[in-house]
């Protein structure tokens, strides 16, 4: 399932609404922790923003493990505007891969 341009814009807008310290800390953590950066960058390039995590078939293994790692380091759902880290973690990963 590819996300529409409107959906991608929505996710990026949500990402920018995260508190600066949350956003910057989460990106820094993932830049340090994600080992398969080139594979992730290639998936983003191939499948598009936000769609890559679903279309690449890695959501239920790798993507969820990254989201859960964010939680374990204190980047929890309750600290996000929507109270749901699922709304943000793909944008955080994408930013970390830049």
Tokens 């929505």, residue located: 10
Give the mean model confidence (pLDDT) for residues 6-15. Answer: 86
Band (pLDDT 50/70/90 cuts) for residue 80 is very high
Regarding predicted confidence, which is higher, 50 or 87? 87
Domain count, the chain: 1
**CA 4/CA 43 separation, integer angstroms:** 17
pLDDT at 60 over 70: no
Q: What are phi and psi of 73, to 5 degrees?
A: -95, 10
**CA 65/CA 37 separation, integer angstroms:** 15
Q: Out of 32-46, 56-70, 83-97, pick the least confident.
A: 56-70
pTM for this entry: 0.85
Give the mean model confidence (pLDDT) for residues 9-30. Answer: 94
Domain that holds residue 90: 5-96
Regarding predicted confidence, which is higher, 39 or 1? 39
């Amino acid at each position: 399932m590819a996300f529409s341009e409107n959906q991608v814009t929505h996710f990026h807008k949500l990402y920018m609404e995260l508190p600066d310290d949350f956003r910057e800390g989460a990106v820094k953590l993932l830049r340090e922790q994600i080992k398969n950066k080139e594979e992730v960058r290639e998936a983003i390039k191939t499948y598009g923003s936000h769609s890559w995590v679903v279309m690449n078939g890695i959501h239920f293994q790798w993507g969820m493990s990254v989201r859960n790692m964010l939680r374990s380091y204190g980047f929890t759902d309750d600290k996000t505007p929507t109270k749901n880290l699922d709304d943000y973690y793909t944008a955080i990963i994408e930013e970390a891969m830049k």
